[in-house]
Chain A
Amino acid sequence: MSRVSRLSLQFTAVPQDPLKVSWTDPCNLTRLQTFAETESARKSVDELSYAEPNWDGYGALPISGEAKRNAITALHVLANTTPPPTVIPNPNGTLSFEWETGSGIGHLEIGKTRYSFYVKPSSGRAILADGDADKIMSFLGAVVGGVLYPKPAEPAFLSLKFLANDV
């Protein structure tokens, strides 16, 4: 009998919790940081006061209260699945969330009644979505996270321990 075949192997493994598969590491520090960043983005939307006509000097329309409310709701919906975006006011009275990494560009524009979404990977076809501005769902954030913030390949198990009773 070979030496290897006489090894008595046992292992214990904790399967990866699918609920914890997200763009962020499942550690408290990162979650706190994410919360702070999301709050910061929410505050920036809240404080955006482009309520005046011609706020940009080039004839922009005011950003409506409805668009702001929809954007704040969307920030909370997306918070668990993607990093906080850069928030940009648009001359047509809407707000845009933008993400840009070496992997591509993500864009979510939110208006009074509708949203418009795309993720354009650095290579390959764009992913598009449209819908009601008050029904933005977290899967949009998962798409952004998955395409623009890919994680290194994760182990199938969080811990794996070999016990060799040898030899």
Chain B
Amino acid sequence: MMCDIPVEVADHENVVRAIFSSQVDKKTLRKNAFFEIHDDVSVMRHSYLGSEECKKKALQIVPGNAAIKYKGLAIIGVKAVRDAKSQVADSRAVYCGHAHISHGIQLPPADDPLYSQQKLELDERLRELKRLARYIPDPDPTSETWKGEQL
């Protein structure tokens, strides 16, 4: 299928992360909001997809644990991500408008933690991204349309 957006993810773009209940503490993001087991954290290119499409894509994510619920969207500038020393790259093979954030820091092995020095380094990066992102809880999570604050 044709994907008519630039492969290059520009500094002025914003990307959005779908946020689930395990990634928030009430209305505050946890640092694991920008962490996955692989170094390719899924985000959406909001500057091209828009809020409505981001919401639709968020609802297509189905956690294996039924207790984990979609809660809202977190938006962050690509330049801010890069200034924090993480990278953003287009990943249209997933779908047009999808991108990945990668931290370039060693990730933990399965079932055990990173050693403390590396863990601290990773956590400080994740805390910085959390600080730079703006989380907007979805006032109507089950709706197909985005009814939250403007992203």
Contacts from A to B (Cβ < 8 Å): 49-50, 52-61, 64, 66-67, 86, 88-94, 107, 109-118, 120, 126, 128-130, 133
Specify which chain B residues have a CB less than 8 angstroms from the CB of A120 in the assembled complex: 120
Residue of B at shortest CB range from A92? B108
A-B contact pairs, 29 of them (CB 8 A): A54-B63, A55-B22, A57-B18, A57-B63, A57-B68, A58-B61, A59-B38, A60-B64, A64-B111, A88-B32, A90-B32, A91-B32, A91-B36, A92-B113, A93-B110, A93-B111, A94-B112, A107-B120, A109-B119, A111-B113, A114-B112, A116-B114, A116-B119, A117-B116, A118-B119, A128-B116, A128-B117, A130-B115, A130-B116
- Say whether B110 contacts A92, CB under 8 Å: yes
Please tell me if B123 contacts chain A, counting CB pairs below 8 Å. Answer: yes
A57-B20 CB under 8 A given contacts A92-B107, A93-B111, A112-B112: yes
Please tell me if B150 contacts chain A, counting CB pairs below 8 Å. Answer: no
For the complex, what is the distance from the CA of A50 to the CA of B111, rounded to whole Å? 13
For the complex, what is the distance from the CA of A116 to the CA of B93, rounded to whole Å? 36
CB distance from A54 to the nearest CB of B (A): 4
Main secondary structure of the interface of B (DSSP, over half): loop
Specify which chain B residues have a CB less than 8 angstroms from the CB of A59 in the assembled complex: 36-38
- Say whether A111 contacts B112, CB under 8 Å: yes
Task: Count B-side interface residues using an 8 Å CB cutoff.
Answer: 34
Specify which chain A residues have a CB less than 8 angstroms from the CB of B114 in the assembled complex: 109, 116
Specify which chain B residues have a CB less than 8 angstroms from the CB of A128 in the assembled complex: 116-117, 120
Residue of A at shortest CB range from B38? A59
For the complex, what is the distance from the CA of A114 to the CA of B119, rounded to whole Å? 13
Which B43-76 residues have C-beta < 8 A from chain A?
Answer: 61-65, 67-68
Specify which chain A residues have a CB less than 8 angstroms from the CB of B111 in the assembled complex: 61, 64, 66-67, 92-94, 111-113
For the complex, what is the distance from the CA of A59 to the CA of B36, rounded to whole Å? 7
For the complex, what is the distance from the CA of A86 to the CA of B25, rounded to whole Å? 10
- Say whether B35 contacts A91, CB under 8 Å: yes
Residue of A at shortest CB range from B66? A52
Specify which chain A residues have a CB less than 8 angstroms from the CB of B23 in the assembled complex: 56
For the complex, what is the distance from the CA of A59 to the CA of B65, rounded to whole Å? 11
For the complex, what is the distance from the CA of A128 to the CA of B63, rounded to whole Å? 33
Specify which chain A residues have a CB less than 8 angstroms from the CB of B113 in the assembled complex: 90, 92, 94, 109-111, 114-116
- Say whether A57 contacts B61, CB under 8 Å: yes
For the complex, what is the distance from the CA of A148 to the CA of B69, rounded to whole Å? 32
- Say whether A89 contacts B119, CB under 8 Å: no
CB distance from B28 to the nearest CB of A (A): 11
CB distance from A37 to the nearest CB of B (A): 17
For the complex, what is the distance from the CA of A93 to the CA of B120, rounded to whole Å? 18
